[in-house]
Amino acid sequence: MESTILAIRKNKSFVVICMLAFALVTIGILSPYIAPHDPLKTDMTNSLRGPNAIFSLGTDQLGRDLFSRILYGALNSLKMTFSLVITVFIIGTALGTLAGYWGGIVDTIVMRFCDIFLAFPGIIFAIAVAGVLGPSSINTVIALAVVHWPKYARLSRGLAMSVKRKDYIKAAKMGGAKEYQIILRYVFPNIISALIVMATMDIGSMLLEISSLSFLGLGAQPPTPEWGYMINEGRTYIQTAPWLMVYPGVAMFITVTIFNLLGEIIRDILDPNKQY
């Protein structure tokens, strides 16, 4: 713990990136209050207006303010992304930890399910699942959760198998600790750091995958503002109104970059082999 605190103090970029990530999340949460216009209000008299004093980033084909839709899109995109990350983290970690600690039939069943899901190309499998369930934000999260939980299960399983051989686990068993107490007090706290690193680094990639499904029409449905679907709407007007694709794309690029940098910095801080 002390080495981690020391690493955070010496890593100034961690504070900067954390502030940027916090700012993005705050903007998304406060978007209903800071958006200058109603993102769903249509006005055909303002259709495809370029950036101007009234509409800072222009309007779309239905006359809706693009800046307001991008702000609301941040809320919807980040909400779906964090829901996905939390879901796969909880399911994958719980199953993997139990499989690695108990072994036997539990380990066999969990790993065989992991092998089944990993046998299919990830994004293709997600498209198939989302297509079967039907296009919606919730179904997109479910489809991608089905794809991503196995890697969390495999990582947590390997870490749990390593931890359960430690002397302090044997001491806890000799002291009369119950199985669930050992898992919660000794196993899970010792594997959580690696899983947090993976989850943080997955935020950017999962946001892109959610946007990809929305781009294909399998995610958020109109008129809900979502960056992937907004890019899909704008591609028809790429020559006459390029801002419809450029600005949502820039927002997505900035968000993904910040969370990728945050994940890399957290990985360096929690790396036990790095000397400070």
Q: Express each pLDDT in 240-268 by its tens digit.
A: 999 999 999 999 999 999 999 998 888 87
- For the entire predicted model, the pTM comes to 0.89
Give the CA-trace dihedral at 53, 54, 56, 60, to 10 degrees: -130
If you average pLDDT over residues 1-11, what whole number do you get? Answer: 58
The residue type found at 166 is: K
Q: Express each pLDDT in 56-70 by its tens digit.
A: 999 999 999 999 999
Classified as helix, coil or strand, 65 is: strand
The residues, any chain, with a CB within 8 Å of residue 228's CB and separated by 6 or more, are 77, 210, 211, 212, 213, 214, 215, 219, 220, 252
Please report the pLDDT score of residue 171 as a whole number.
85
Please report the pLDDT score of residue 170 as a whole number.
80
Q: What is the band of 186 on the pLDDT scale with cuts at 50, 70, 90?
A: confident
Please report the pLDDT score of residue 275 as a whole number.
42
Please report the pLDDT score of residue 15 as a whole number.
85
Please choose, from the candidates 82, 61, 76, the residue with its C-alpha nearest in 3D space to the C-alpha of residue 145.
Answer: 82
Q: Which CATH architecture has domain 2-270?
A: Orthogonal Bundle (1.10)
Please report the pLDDT score of residue 87 as a whole number.
95
If you average pLDDT over residues 86-91, what whole number do you get? Answer: 95
The whole-chain average pLDDT of the chain stands at 88
Token pair listed for 260: 């990728």
If you average pLDDT over residues 228-236, what whole number do you get? Answer: 92
Percentage of the chain modeled with pLDDT above 90: 61
Q: What is the band of 276 on the pLDDT scale with cuts at 50, 70, 90?
A: very low
If you average pLDDT over residues 111-132, what whole number do you get? Answer: 89
